[in-house]
Amino acid sequence: MRFPNEAAGGVELSLTLKPRVAVRAKISSVGIYVPPKLLTNADLERMVATNDQWITERTGIRERHIVDKGVATSDIAAEAARICLANRGVAANEVEAIIVGTVTPDMIFPSTACLVQDKIGAKGAWGFDLSAACSGFPYALQVGAKLVESGAHKKVLVIGADVMSSIVDYTDRTTCILFGDGAGCVLVEPCEEGEVGLVDFWHEIDGSGAASLRMPGGGSLNPPSHETVDNKMHFIQQDGQAVYKFAVRKMAEASEMLLNRNGITGAELGCFIPHQANKRIILSTAERLGMPEDRVIINIDRYGNTTVGTIPLAMHTAMADGRLKKGDLVLLASVGAGFTVGSTLLRWEI
């Protein structure tokens, strides 16, 4: 099957697709929300032994958004969902399913999806949460797409939202500089005639890396107790070097695997939208793919790592900057705790 590639100057691009589904799924709308409160590098200099230059050079982050006390993941997720639906002109009661990717649910149960469903008034929808850390958005996007491609649903909300400030130890300078709060939402609908939408994906996990990035307290293994609180087990724990090495290698490998399988090169992509964990990881992947830097979306300087929220936030940045246009061939890529790895190839149809 062949599709025109505007980013390559109108060159015909051949994609080797999996067997064609009866219905193809596309992203039809995007909405984001970040809390107004900012936590800058200068603020962190007054909290821990760090400085703006050190943070910026190693991560690319200058500031991040942080919720006020009492604001939960479901609150920012619901805001992003409302904006997404309004941008498409779709009423909440038309939504049939809600998938929330998050590692900071409001509580163990009920699911954040249940709380979002109630807050936005999506009375006819069902839904659930999906936990894949920083790969949560591409994972949730594929689940939503499959619900549409199967013919089961025509309108699925896929949300990536995290209040990372709720699990960050602000006395740990190795982690507190990295994370921010934010939410992004996309509406997944069937393609119209002539549209392509989601093309292919490559996902994998490597559970042997679980100890390298985790929050060990609060689950069935280490339920809340004085001991877990005293030992700071309800905060993020990270082996930074192990995570960095894995992310540099696997984000590029997963991206190459997906592009090679579809017979295309990075230079032919209209846009690369990676998970925003570290600017050096992003640029390393882009260089390996042979992508021009002007087609790589980076907004980590403004938001930090919002975990599941980073990719939809970056989609919005790309749209706002005029760097993401209808017909563009787009690659999403992520690596997260677990370890989880995800890449997605799609045609932008908005």
* Residues that are catalytic: 134, 275, 305
C-beta separation of 301 from 52 below 8 A: no
**Cis peptide before 246, with omega less than 30 degrees from 0?**
no
Q: Which residues of 273-291 are buried (b: 16+ CB within 10 A; e: fewer)?
A: bbbbbbbebbbbbbebbeb
CA dist 29 and 31 (Å) reads: 7
Both tokens assigned to 5 = 């590639």
- Tell me the one-letter amino acid at 184: G
138 CB contacts (<8 Å, ≥6 apart)? Answer: 201, 203, 311, 332, 333, 334, 342, 343, 344
Collapse the DSSP code of 131 into the 3-class scheme (helix H, G, I; strand E, B; otherwise coil) and give the result.
coil
**What DSSP string describes 62-118?**
-EEE-PPTT--HHHHHHHHHHHHHHHHT--GGG--EEEEE-SS-SSSSS-HHHHHHH
